[in-house]
């Protein structure tokens, strides 16, 4: 499977536009039709109180991976598709000064917003990296935990994403991510009928595809747990696994 560069560019432009909306206008980039399915509303008040408003406005995820990643003091965390930095900032606070939180994003505008949010939040143990989730710019075995919030469904080469996750994780490392997942009976064509690629629907994997893809990359104890419906026969789910 190869990278669909045209589709990747379409995704990049969509999220660059969302970031500019927040940078230029301090307005939310999520519409009312997304309420309850995507965005900062999926973070409870305790989490939201820790964040700059712009980080919450730029939240486009379908869950709260920090709540399920079970982060510990001193760990190194990588967020795939960091966006405005909401999950990186929360992770940095949980791993503490002796830990580190990396945020990876391919969009200059989102990286600008994330860095601004980190400064506003006075969080120092973070670093935002430009790159693709299929080509993570970190060394082998350098990360304890990988999180991601509704981003893997946007990749056009998920097999490579899973391989990269396994490469950068330390032995015994783990993932705690959220993503849109389709019921196993839905065909690729039926997923397209339910929503766009940039809207996190058309590119979603099925439960079986997630389980098999992670297992083939070397992960064990894979679990896919639905949390809420985002489209017919499609859910936001928590995906956990250990390397």
- pLDDT per residue as tens digits for the range 188-230: 999 999 988 888 888 999 999 999 999 999 999 999 999 889 9
Round to whole Å and give the CA distance between 199 and 231. Answer: 11
Of residues 134 and 87, more confidence is placed in 134
Is the pLDDT reported for residue 93 higher than 60?
Answer: yes
C-alpha distances out from residue 67 to 54, 148, 186, Å: 20, 12, 29
Q: Which domain covers residue 39, as residue numbers?
A: 5-242
Residue 32's domain is classified under what CATH number?
3.40.50.150
Arithmetic mean of pLDDT, 166-171: 98
pLDDT of residue 3: 72
Mean per-residue pLDDT, 67-94: 89
pLDDT tens column, 48-73: 555 555 444 444 556 666 766 789 99
| Domains contained in the chain, number | 1
Which stretches does DSSP call E strand in the chain? 76-80, 100-105, 126-130, 143-149, 169-182, 205-206, 220-231, 234-242
Rg of the chain over all Cα atoms, to the nearest angstrom: 16
| Residue 133 pLDDT | 95
pTM over 0.85: no
- Count other Cβ atoms within 10 Å, centred on residue 9: 11
């Amino acid at each position: 499977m190869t990278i669909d560069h045209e589709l990747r560019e379409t995704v990049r432009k969509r999220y660059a536009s969302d970031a500019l909306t927040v940078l230029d206008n301090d307005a939310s980039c999520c519409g009312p039709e997304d309420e309850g399915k995507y965005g900062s509303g999926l973070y409870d008040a305790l989490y939201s109180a820790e964040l700059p408003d712009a980080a919450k406005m730029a939240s486009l995820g379908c869950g709260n991976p920090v709540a399920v990643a079970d982060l510990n003091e001193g760990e190194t965390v990588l967020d795939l598709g960091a966006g405005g930095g909401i999950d990186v900032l929360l992770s940095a606070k949980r791993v503490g000064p002796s830990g580190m939180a990396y945020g990876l994003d391919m969009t200059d505008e989102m990286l600008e917003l994330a860095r601004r949010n980190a400064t506003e939040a006075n969080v120092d143990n973070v670093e935002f990296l430009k790159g693709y989730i299929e080509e993570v710019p970190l060394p082998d075995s350098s990360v304890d935990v990988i999180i991601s919030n509704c981003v893997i469904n946007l990749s056009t080469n998920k097999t490579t994403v899973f391989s990269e996750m396994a490469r950068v994780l330390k032995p015994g490392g783990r993932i705690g991510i959220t993503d849109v997942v389709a019921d196993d009976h839905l065909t690729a064509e039926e997923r397209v009928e339910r929503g766009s690629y940039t809207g996190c629907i058309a590119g979603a994997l099925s439960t079986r595809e997630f389980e098999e893809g992670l297992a083939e990359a070397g992960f064990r104890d894979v679990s896919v747990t639905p949390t809420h419906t985002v489209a017919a026969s499609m859910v936001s789910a928590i995906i956990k696994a250990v390397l």
